[in-house]
Amino acid sequence: MSSPRRLLLVNGPNLNLLGTREPEIYGRETLADVEALVAATAAERGVEVRSVQSNHEGVLIDEIHAAREDCAGIVINPGGLTHTSVVLRDALAGVALPVAEVHISDVYAREAFRHHSYVADVAVVHVIGEGVAGYARATQQLLDILT
């Protein structure tokens, strides 16, 4: 496979509150820190990153659809949509791009409703419970698959 030029980084609802929202669970790093980490990790391999965060499911789906035109893969933390959104899952499946699913906290050690991921079956990479650093590992693993 040829080298990818761009990844889409998707962060779902409430991830704009990183750094202030439940820091005992999600840490003190901000969304800007996450975006910078992923961009720096991808840049080491000559890959650009386009980032989107929204609290609105349709915005995320539109960005995922648009990724078909100029992205080789998607790194996504769907937030709470992980456990509720068949529509988001179908958008990821529909664009047929490799997907890396990331969760900052260990969702399997939390409330029972968080144990199911609608994204899991369409993702080729899963990084769960490694904090913000997990985004870098997910990006590296996705790039390994793409190259």
Q: Distance between CA 51 and CA 54 in Å, rounded?
A: 10
- 126 assigned binding-site residue: no
- 114 assigned binding-site residue: yes
**How far is CA 17 from each of CA 3, 12, 67, 95, 143, rounded to the nearest angstrom?**
33, 11, 25, 28, 27
Q: Distance between CA 134 and CA 26 in Å, rounded?
A: 12
**Active-site residue 65, yes or no?**
no
- 104 assigned binding-site residue: yes
- 65 assigned binding-site residue: no
**Active-site residue 103, yes or no?**
yes
- 62 assigned binding-site residue: no
Closest CA to 128 of 147, 113, 110: 110
Residue linked to tokens 């390994």:
144
| Token digits of residue 19 | 């750094």
- 54 assigned binding-site residue: no
Residue linked to tokens 């179908």:
90
Residue linked to tokens 């509720």:
84
Please state the residue numbers annotated as binding site for substrate.
77, 83, 90, 104-105, 114
- Which amino acids are annotated catalytic? 26, 103
Please state the residue numbers annotated as binding site.
77, 83, 90, 104-105, 114
